[in-house]
Amino acid sequence: MKRIAGLILIFVAVLAACKNSDEFSLKGTLKNGPGLKKVLLYQQNKLVDSAFLSESNEFKFRVASPEPEFYYIVANDKNYLFVARNGDELVFEADYNNPTGEYVIEGSDDAEKLKEFNTISNKYGKIFLAIRNEYERKVSGNPAAKDSIERAITPRFEENMRKFSDESLAFAEKNKDNLAGFYAISSLDQNSYEEEMVKYADDLKGKYKGNEAIQDFIAKMERLKPLAKGQKAPDFEMESTDGKQVKLSDFKGKYVLLDFWASWCGPCRIENPNLVKQYNAYKDKGFTILSVSLDNDRASWLKAIKDDKLTWTHVSELKQWNGKVSQQYLVEAIPASFLLDKEGKIIEKNLRGNELEVFLNKTLK
């Protein structure tokens, strides 16, 4: 009888130690939430659960997730990403007041991989926060110098963004078998890492078929292929500053920089003096610029053209991000550009600063 009782106790203990394969669990602690009483759980964009915080700022979730999925803990204006699947037993900790949004989540292989990537993003998050604070402090002390302060700080920001992106890409390449790798690749700037992202999407085909985010990413990268180097740039027609209709194909026979910008885009305005320099240097050697503005206010658009002395052809639908052409070219961030050869084929993308000058000097000398 004692032996049977002992076996029962062992059996019960084993059952207690086994993970529930029909759901995952998450035990969380969120400190210093001002008046925060409840947190929400989203699977990508879908609300799946909510939980009240205890007096010790703790909460719990138990959710079925047959496939690994992205989830977000949402607390007021804060979002905390994690990956989960059935059987995971996760522990989450965060301080609501942390300015960089750092948090810890542990308890599964996916969580550990995401934690590894978060170490990278948190490192650069602190750098970007310091740059932003420096910018705001300097502008507060000298508002009239806002533009010059932005020009001085932008190169440092861009250099650190490049380092962050390169580290993110390296992480993604090493982690194609988990969602943390996908999260890393999807954090990259499409304008700068298009080829790498398209290749990554091809490698993901046939995997994670039930994951909406990954399938959307694969579909989006497929739409980018007609805009790859060597492809003919899609033609379009748009109204210019003088009210006339202008076609991209009107410029066949010249090298064309198709430039997407806006009057409200600080980096675009910083790049404009370089475009003026290159245009003046090569306009008599078969080079021109066609600028497509993402403005929605005509007066602001025209003023920026005049102020920056942009003497080439300008067109706009005045619909910001909702313009047909910017969507056709999958423009998600500006400045963005496509350099076309005399036949209208895309030969380079997003050349700026010295890169554009070197290319034009080599091609049109």
Angle at 133 between CA 127 and CA 137, to 5 degrees: 145
pLDDT reported for residue 20:
53
Which fold would CATH assign to domain 24-107? Immunoglobulin-like (2.60.40)
**Domain ranges across the chain:** 24-107, 131-227, 231-364
pLDDT digits (tens, 9 = 90+) for 38-73: 999 999 889 999 999 999 999 999 999 988 899 999
Indicate the CATH number for domain 231-364: 3.40.30.10
Helix axes 179-186, 212-224, angle to 10 degrees: 40
pLDDT digits (tens, 9 = 90+) for 305-317: 999 999 999 999 9
Mean per-residue pLDDT, 231-259 = 97
pLDDT reported for residue 214:
92
Residues 74 and 42 sit within 8 Å (Cβ to Cβ):
yes
* Alpha carbon distance 318, 333 (integer Å): 16
Q: What is the mean pLDDT of the chain?
A: 91
Range list of β-strands (E), the chain: 24-31, 38-43, 46-52, 58-63, 69-75, 78-84, 89-95, 103-106, 237-239, 245-247, 255-261, 287-293, 313-316, 336-340, 346-349
Mean per-residue pLDDT, 84-103 = 93
Six token digits for residue 184:
């890393």
Q: Helix (H, G, I), strand (E, B), or coil: what is residue 177?
A: coil
Considering just the CA atoms, what is the radius of gyration of the chain in Å? Answer: 26
DSSP-derived secondary structure letter, 313: E
pLDDT of 197 above 90: yes
- Confidence bin at 13 (pLDDT 50/70/90): very low
pLDDT of 139 above 60: yes
DSSP secondary structure string, 60-99? EEEE--SS-EEEEEEETTEEEEEEE-TT-EEEEEEETT-T
Mean per-residue pLDDT, 104-130 = 92
Q: What values do phi and psi take at 355, rounded to 5?
A: -60, -45
Residues 6+ apart with CB under 8 A from 278: 257, 287, 356, 357, 360
